[in-house]
Structure 1
Amino acid sequence: MIIASKSPSALRRPAARTAIVAAIIFVVAHVVLLLGITAPDKLYFDEVHYVPAARQMLQPVLEGPILNPMHPPLAKEIIALSIKAFGDVPLGWRYPAALFGTLALVAVYLGALALFASQERAIAAMLLAFFNQMLFVQSRIAMLDIFALAFCLFAIAAFIHGFRQARPQSAFALAGLAAGLACACKWSGLFVLATCIAIVVMIRLMQGWRARFADANAEDWYRPDLWPDFRLRHFIVCFVLIPAAVYLATFVPLYGLSFSDIIEAQRRIFADNTTTAIAGHTYMSSWPSWPFLVRPVWYLFEKVGDDRFAAVVFLGNPLVLWPALIALIVALRDWIVARGRDAFLVLAFYLGPYLAWALLPRTLGFIYYYLPAATTASFVLVYALTRKGAPRWLLWAFVAVGCAGFIAMLPITVAAIETSIATFNRLMLFQNWI
C-alpha cells in the first residue's frame, strides 16, 4: 500500500491559518484594550511605584537610590521606553500594559492550540481568558504583572508544544527564554519555570525507574519512550542557562557590567520578596481564598460627578472563575483515573503558579497574585467543557455566559465608563467585596 505524504503546501496551510488567527486576535484585542485607557488621567494604585521608577531610568545619569529595587527591571524598562515614545502622559504609562495584555491573549490562543489541536477550542480559551476580567484590568494599568503573565503564557505554549514532540529541544529552549523574561519582570515568573522543570524531572524519574502502565495508550500523560534524545545537557541549557542569561542581561542597562551591583540587586529582591515583616493592608488576602474571589482589590474609586464614580476593581468574573473550580475536579479525576495527558497539563499549569504561593513565608498577599492561575483556568474550563460526550454547544454557551458577566462588570472595570451607587450596590454581592 502506498501512503501519500503531505505536500509542502498542505503542511503550510495550518501554520498560515494559525498566523492569520493570531494576527486577528492581536489587532482586535489591542484596539479593545486601548479604549478609554487614559482614564484616569493621573497615576493610580501601584502606578505610583512603577512609573516613577521608569522615569528614573530615562535620566542620563541616575540620581539618588534606585527606585523600586524590590522587583527586576525589565517591565519598568519597557514602560520607560513607552514614556520616551509617547510622552510622560497616561498613554505613555499604560500603553505597554495594553500591548502585553494583547500578547498574553495571543499566547493563550497558541497554548490552547498546542494543547487541544483545535482552532475552535483555542479561540474559546482565549475568549474565556479575556472575559475572566483579571487580565483585562491588568492590561490597563502600569503594573508589572501583565508583563510577567504574557511571557509566562508564551513559556507555557512553547513547553506544551515541546511536550508532544519526540525532539523537544527547540520548544523547551523557547520556553526557558520566555520564562527567563517573565522572571526579569517579576520573580513570580519562577513559578512557571519551576513547573516546567518539575514536569521534566517527574518524567525522567519515572523513565529511570522503568515505570510502565499495564494498559498503556497514546493519550497517557507519561510514556517510557517520551523524548528519547533529550539529554541532561539539553535540560541544563533550556531550563537553567538560557533563563539565567536572559534574566541577568536585563540588569545591564541599569547596573552596567558591575557584577557586585547585580548580585546585590538579587539579594535585595530576595529579601523583599521573602520577608514576613510587612504591615497589613486593607485589601490583603491569603492564597486559599483567591479562587473563591473572597477579597478583591479596589484600584480606583473616586467621585467624578453627581452620583457618578470612576471605579476599577480587580476581582475576577465569578461566572468564569467559580465554575473553573468544578472543571478542576473534572480534570483531576481524568488525570487520576484515565491518565489523561491534557488533564495533566492543564492541572500542572494551573496548580503550579497557584500553589507555589503556599510555600512562601511572605505574609502579605493580594488576589492579583492569582492572575496567572486564573488565566490558565481557561485551559481547564475548555478541557472540561469539551470532554468526550459533551455537546458542542455547551462550550459556546459557557463563553456567552462569561461574556455577559464581563459586560455586567464593565462599570466597575473601566474608569471611563463610570458607575452610580445603584449599579455599584447591585454588583457588590457580598460585604467583603467592598
Structure 2
Amino acid sequence: MSVQPDSHSVLPRTAVVAAIIFVVAHMVLLIGITVPDKLYFDEVHYVPAARQMLSPAPEAPILNPMHPPLAKEIIARSIKVFGDNPFGWRYPAALFGALALVGVYLGGLALFAAQGRALAATLLAFFNQMLFVQSRIAMLDIFALAFGLFAIAAFIHGFRQQRPQLAFALAGLAAGFSAACKWSGLFVLATCIVIVAAVSLLRSWRTRFADATAEDWYRPDLWPDFRVHHFIACFVLIPAVVYLATFVPLYGFSVSAIVEAQRRIFADNTTTAIAGHTYMSPWPSWPLLVRPVWYLFDKLSDDRIAAVVFLGNPLILWPALIALVVALRDWIVARQRDAFLVLAFYLGPYLAWALLPRTLGFIYYYLPAATTASYALVYALTRKGAPRWLLWAFVAVGCIGFVAMLPVTAAIVETSMATFNRLMLFQSWI
C-alpha cells in the first residue's frame, strides 16, 4: 500500500527550500553588482525613466513610453531607498533574479512532484548564464520573467487539480504583473489561455482516448467544475485589472491617458520601421546561440578587459534542443502530460515572437524560453530507464560551462584578451 505525503509536512519543507534558494541566489547575484559604476547598455533608457518617476511633477514627455511602468516603478523605489547609484539601479534586478529561481523551483515541484528534480531544474536555470546576466543589469526582462515563472508554476499546479480555480487565478494575477513589466509577459498568459481553450474544446467534443491513462495530457474529467465565468475571471479580468492598476501612479485615473499609453506601447512594439542594430538577430537563431549581445566591453589596459555578454551556456542550451525533441516525441506518441506542459511553456513564450511583425530582435528575448528549457532537460534526463546519476552529472557539466564563461559574464571578473579569444568559439560571437 502506497503512502501519500502529508501536505502538512510538504508545505513547510517547500517553503524552507524556497527560502534557502532565494537567500543564496540573492547573495550570489549581488556580488560585484556595482561594476561597472556607470550606466551600460539599455540602462541608459530605463534608469532615466525611473528617475523621472521620482519627481513630484514629472515633466513631459514621459520617458520610455514604449514599455509598461511596473518594472521602472520598482527601480525607482530602489533608487529612492538606496540612492541614485549603481546599487540603487541594479538591486531590484538581483532581487527579482532570486525570485525567478524560486519560481523555477516551484514550477519544477508542480511539474515533477520531486524535490531533487525541481532543484536540478533551478540549478540549470541559473547555470544557463542568461538569467545570471539579466539579474545584474537594470533592464525590464528579469522582472517580467520572475512574474511569468510564478504564473507558470501556479498554472501547472492548477492543471493537476480537480478544482483549479484558485491556482489559475494566481496564474492570471502573476501574468498580469508580468505584462505590466513588459508586454512579452503576455506570452505566458496566452499560453495558459490556449491550453485551457484546447482542453475545453476537446471536452465539448466529448473526446476520449481509447487507451486512456492517468498520465495523458488531456482527460475528459479534467476540471469538471471550471466554467466560462471562471475562465474569464482568471485569465481576463484579474490580469487586466492588475495590469491597468500599475499605470495609475504615473497617469492617475485618467482613462484617456491610460488608453493612449496602451496605443503607444502597441505602436512601438509592432512597428517595422526600426533601424538595424549591430547585435540584432532573428528569432530562429536564438536557440542556436548564433548572435549574442555585448552589454559591456571595456578595455581597461592593453591586455585587460571588463566584459558582459548575453549569450547563454552552450553546454546547457544546445543539449536542451535534444531534450525538447524527446519531449515532443513523448507527447505525440505517449500523450505524456509532463512532456506537453514542458513543450507548451517553452514554445509559447518563444514562438510568439514569430507572430509579431517587429523586425528588430535580440537574443535576450529568448530568456523566458531558455529558462523553461531547464524543465525539458530534467524531463529528458529522468525518463524511465535513465540512470539516477545522469541528471546530476549534467548539472555538474553545466556548472563547469557557467564558471568558464564568468570572465565575459561578470564585469567584476576582469580578464585578458587571450581568455576572451579562447571563449569566442565563433566569429559571430564577437
TM-score, normalization by structure 1: 0.98
Q: Which residue of 2 aligns with 1:414?
A: 410
Q: Which residue identity does 1:244 align to in structure 2?
A: A
C-alpha change, 1:5 and 1:123, in structure 2 (3 Å) is: closer
1:48 partnered with 2:44: yes
Q: Which residue of 2 aligns with 1:312?
A: 308
1:394 partnered with 2:390: yes
Q: Alpha-carbon deviation of 1:63?
A: 1.2
Q: Which residue of 2 aligns with 1:215?
A: 211
1:139 partnered with 2:122: no
Q: Which residue identity does 1:169 align to in structure 2?
A: Q
SS for the counterpart of 1:310 is strand
Q: Which residue of 1 aligns with 2:55?
A: 59
The gaps in structure 1 that reach 5 residues or longer are: none
1:74 partnered with 2:95: no
Q: Which residue identity does 1:129 align to in structure 2?
A: A
Q: Which residue of 2 aligns with 1:153?
A: 149
Deviations 1:351-393 (A, max 9, x none): 0000000000000000000000000000000000000000000
SS for the counterpart of 1:212 is coil
Q: Alpha-carbon deviation of 1:272?
A: 0.2
Question: Among 262, 281, 285, which residue is 1:285 paired with?
Answer: 281
Q: Which residue of 2 aligns with 1:32?
A: 28
Q: Which residue of 1 aligns with 2:225?
A: 229
Q: Which residue identity does 1:358 align to in structure 2?
A: A
Counterpart Cα distance in 1 of 2:59 and 2:189: 35
Counterpart Cα distance in 1 of 2:192 and 2:268: 25
Question: Among 366, 371, 384, which residue is 1:370 paired with?
Answer: 366
Deviations 1:294-320 (A, max 9, x none): 000000001123411110000000000
Q: Which residue identity does 1:136 align to in structure 2?
A: F
Counterpart Cα distance in 2 of 1:399 and 1:305: 36
1:404 partnered with 2:404: no
Q: Which residue of 1 aligns with 2:176?
A: 180
Q: Which residue of 2 aligns with 1:130?
A: 126
C-alpha change, 1:381 and 1:411, in structure 2 (3 Å) is: same
Counterpart Cα distance in 1 of 2:52 and 2:177: 21
Counterpart Cα distance in 2 of 1:84 and 1:144: 18
1:200 partnered with 2:187: no
Output aligned runs, 1:314-393, within 5 Å: 314-393=310-389
SS for the counterpart of 1:179 is helix
Counterpart Cα distance in 2 of 1:362 and 1:192: 19
Counterpart Cα distance in 2 of 1:22 and 1:298: 32
SS for the counterpart of 2:24 is helix
Number of matched pairs: 430
Q: Which residue of 1 aligns with 2:105?
A: 109
Output aligned runs, 1:11-26, within 5 Å: 11-26=7-22
Q: Alpha-carbon deviation of 1:112?
A: 0.3
Counterpart Cα distance in 1 of 2:397 and 2:90: 29
Counterpart Cα distance in 2 of 1:201 and 1:49: 38
Counterpart Cα distance in 2 of 1:223 and 1:4: 24
Q: Which residue identity does 1:65 align to in structure 2?
A: P
User: Structure 1: which 4+ aligned runs deviate by more than 6 Å?
Assistant: 3-7
1:260 partnered with 2:252: no
Q: Which residue identity does 2:231 align to in structure 1?
A: F
TM-score, normalization by structure 2: 0.99
Counterpart Cα distance in 2 of 1:151 and 1:22: 15
SS for the counterpart of 1:409 is helix
Deviations 1:33-58 (A, max 9, x none): 00000000000000000000000000
SS for the counterpart of 1:294 is coil
What CA RMSD, in Å, does the superposition of the two structures yield over aligned residues?
1.1
Q: Which residue identity does 2:41 align to in structure 1?
A: F
Identity rate, percent: 83
Deviations 1:175-211 (A, max 9, x none): 0000000000000001000000000000000000011
